[in-house]
Amino acid sequence: MSDMSQLARAIDEGDREKAVALAKEALNNGIDASEIISRGLQAGMSVVGDKYSSGEYFLPDMLMAARAMKTALEEIKPALGKTGIPTIGRVVIGTVAGDMHDVGKNVVATFLGGSGFEVHDLGLNVADQTFVDEVRARQADILGLSALLTTTMPLMGRIIQLLDEAGLRSSVKVIVGGAPVTQDYADYIGADAYAHDGGKAIRVCRQLMEK
Ligand code: B12
């Protein structure tokens, strides 16, 4: 009998071998692949996100969990058939132009990818218009903008303005983050949401999808 909470715990512990073995066992026991992903892998990553947010976990814990998740996911992928990995929503994310900081953005992208979002990471130093073009091309539900410098932060407001001018503002939720960014600043530039770290970003993005 496969217990999805055991699989979630293996992800939480970053135990790659155990996660793969439990995922295989669940498949052999006839459990649906999408259920293994949502109730096992994604559930585990949500716990990791919360622990990271509360300061119980640090970056290496989250990276080990993400690695365990990725390997177990590879094991399950063939069983998903044509339906593919079930996705909660489509996210386009990147660091704004002139900003070469991408460690935090990568954490957020990994967390969101690991918790069931389809993530299109545009990288760093991304031109304003590229965000707009990619939101349109990918039909993104959420746009994530990262800025680590006080000098590049204002570009997030500019991108929101460009989305508006392109007629895309009502179809995409914008979430902003980065060390100097605050909830007040997010409100000031008209973003839909702000998250202080990758763990919170999972919860906030899930809430955005419910709206
Ligand atoms: C590493 C680093 C660099 C590296 C970046 C390497 C890389 N590939 O990212 C390098 C060496 C390139 C660099 C360069 C510079 N840096 Co620098 N850098 C840092 C440093 C030490 C750590 C940043 C980091 O990786 N943190 C770890 C991650 C995990 O945290 P995080 O980025 O905050 O991300 C988390 C949250 O903010 C949030 N988040 C982040 N993005 C997003 C996006 C969304 C959508 C959401 C929801 C959440 C979210 O979730 C993340 C995960 O939990 C910071 C200091 C600091 N404490 O922040 C300075 C810092 C950001 N740098 C600074 C400066 C000044 C510079 C330089 C101008 C230095 C120089 N004179 O050349 C250049 C600028 C280059 C450029 N054009 O961007 C200043 C910025 C000051 C300011 N107020 O603007 C800081 C604050 C250092 C300081 N105290 O002076 N830097």
Q: Which residues pair with 119 in a beta bridge?
A: 91
Same-domain check for residues 115 and 176? yes
To test ligand 1's pocket by mutation, which of 48, 96, 101 has the most ligand atoms within 8 angstroms of CB?
101
Same-domain check for residues 70 and 97? no
Same-domain check for residues 148 and 198? yes
CA of 179 to the centre of ligand 1 (A): 7
Report the CATH number at residue 163.
3.40.50.280
Same-domain check for residues 114 and 70? no
For 148-178, b/e burial (b = at least 16 CB within 10 A) is bbeebbebbbebbebbeeeebbeebbbbbbb
| pLDDT per residue of the chain (211 residues) written in tens, 0 to 9 | 568 999 999 999 999 999 999 999 999 999 988 788 888 988 898 899 889 889 999 989 988 998 898 889 888 878 876 556 668 899 999 999 999 999 889 889 978 887 789 999 999 999 999 999 999 999 999 999 999 999 999 999 999 999 999 999 999 999 999 999 999 999 999 999 999 988 889 889 999 999 7
Which residue range forms the structural domain that includes residue 189? 90-210
- List, as one string, the DSSP characters of 43-81: HHHHHHHHHHHTTSS-HHHHHHHHHHHHHHHHHHGGGGG
What is the model's pLDDT at position 49?
A: 85
Q: Decide which of 26, 53, 83 is a domain's last residue.
A: 83
Q: Which residue puts its alpha carbon closest to atom 5 of ligand 1?
A: 101
Contact yes or no for 92/131 (Cβ under 8 A): yes
Q: Which helix (H) or strand (E) covers residue 92, if one does?
A: strand 90-95
